[in-house]
Amino acid sequence: MAEPVLSIRDLRKTFGALKATDGVSLDLRPGEIHALIGPNGAGKSTLIHQIAGSLRPDSGSIRFLGQDVGELGVAARARMGLGRSFQISSLALEFSALRNVMLAVQSRQASSFRFLKGVMRDRSLTEPAMAALERTGLAPRAHVPAAELSHGERRQLEIAIALALGPKTFLLDEPMAGMGPEGSRALTAFLDGLRQEAPILLVEHDMDAVFALADRISVLVYGRIIASGTVDEIRSHPDVRRAYLGETA
Ligand SMILES: Nc1ncnc2c1ncn2[C@@H]1O[C@H](COP(=O)(O)OP(=O)(O)OP(=O)(O)O)[C@@H](O)[C@H]1O
């Protein structure tokens, strides 16, 4: 089996008496979508924050591309290729979709001291930014200010930004949230193709999307992984049905 791109071992994080992450270990291998599911408050976002570097674990290790990244901050992990879907709040709402992606591309390039006027004509920025918008289906809306994009389009823009950074792994925290059925279907098809480019750790409540996409599913309940396996294994797992799937049945 191929070496994991991302490898987490015995990660722990408490908030006061609450064990938000209680000894989590998981691997993400090349070419796969590993879905992380679990009820509200199970600790999924807390885990993603620790992997991205925005929250420091109490103990445990996170290895990315063979390197222990525990001491690295968010920016250093992002530069290594740990791509996280941006939260809506991080979009520059007054700027166009295109300019939002260009800012991300620019942040990856060495010389960032350019005037904005020059930036908008700089093909080393516009071309990769347009390519990312085209891949996410947002190219027709490239010149629309982010403030005027629909909720679903902003989610597409976040993924375009993550893509433009040339990631080696994607951490996607509920990319389907707030999308209509058509948007979810389009995003599911898109993510399906994306896994070959970079494996995806996918936190998602939309079980249709999870069952359609996941090579492997881990189920998190009260900060612990109670089961990990293929879609079929998880669907038929009695503890999972009781702790999670049964909830919505
Ligand atoms: N900064 C914090 N301080 C204190 N408690 C926190 C903090 N962040 C998260 N928690 C708590 O940790 C637990 C896990 O939260 P988390 O947001 O990771 O769950 P989740 O699985 O992502 O939930 P959801 O599916 O609703 O997004 C919750 O009980 C939450 O209230």
Q: What are the residue ranges spanned by the domains of the chain?
A: 1-81+167-249, 91-165
DSSP states along 106-147: HHHSS-----HHHHHH-HHHHHHHHHHHHHTT-GGGTTSBGG
pLDDT at 109: 66
Give the Å distance between the CA of 43 and the centre of ligand 1: 5
Q: What is the ipTM of this complex?
A: 0.96
Matching residue, tokens 């992002």? 78
73 lines ligand 1 (CB under 6 A): no
C-alpha dihedral sign at 68, 111, 135, 46: positive
Pairing of strands 200-203, 169-173: parallel
Look up residue 248 and give its two tokens: 């919505």
pLDDT at 122: 78
Query: What is the number of the ligand 1 atom nearest to the C-alpha of 46?
Result: 18
Separation CA 244–CA 35 (nearest Å): 14
Give the Å distance between the CA of 182 and the centre of ligand 1: 29
Give the Å distance between the CA of 12 and the centre of ligand 1: 14
21 lines ligand 1 (CB under 6 A): no
Query: What is the number of the ligand 1 atom nearest to the C-alpha of 39?
Result: 25
Give the Å distance between the CA of 20 and the centre of ligand 1: 7
18 lines ligand 1 (CB under 6 A): yes
pLDDT at 116: 55
CATH architecture of 1-81+167-249: 3-Layer(aba) Sandwich (3.40)
Give the Å distance between the CA of 40 and the centre of ligand 1: 8
Which of 14, 15, 37, 226 has most ligand 1 atoms within 8 Å of its beta carbon, as the pocket-test mutant?
15
Judging by beta carbons within 10 Å of its beta carbon (0-12, 13-18, 19+), is residue 89 exposed, middle or buried? exposed
Give the Å distance between the CA of 232 and the centre of ligand 1: 28
pLDDT at 234: 93
pTM exceeding 0.90 = no
**151-164 and 123-135 are packed helices; what angle lies between their axes, rounded to 10 degrees?**
130
Nearest CA to ligand 1 atom 14: 43
pLDDT at 200: 95
Nearest CA to ligand 1 atom 26: 40
pLDDT at 180: 82
Give, rounded to a whole angstrom, the gap between the first and last alpha carbons of the chain.
Answer: 35
Nearest CA to ligand 1 atom 16: 43
175 lines ligand 1 (CB under 6 A): no
pLDDT at 249: 43
pLDDT at 221: 93
Residues 224, 23 contacting (CB under 8 angstroms):
yes
Please list the pLDDT of the chain residue by residue as tens digits (249 residues).
678 999 999 999 999 999 999 999 999 999 999 999 999 999 999 999 999 999 999 999 999 999 999 999 988 898 898 887 755 557 889 999 999 999 888 877 655 455 555 566 678 889 999 999 999 889 999 999 999 998 888 888 988 888 888 889 999 988 888 888 888 888 898 899 889 889 999 999 889 899 999 999 999 999 999 999 999 999 988 888 877 655 554
41 lines ligand 1 (CB under 6 A): yes
Look up residue 20 and give its two tokens: 């938000």
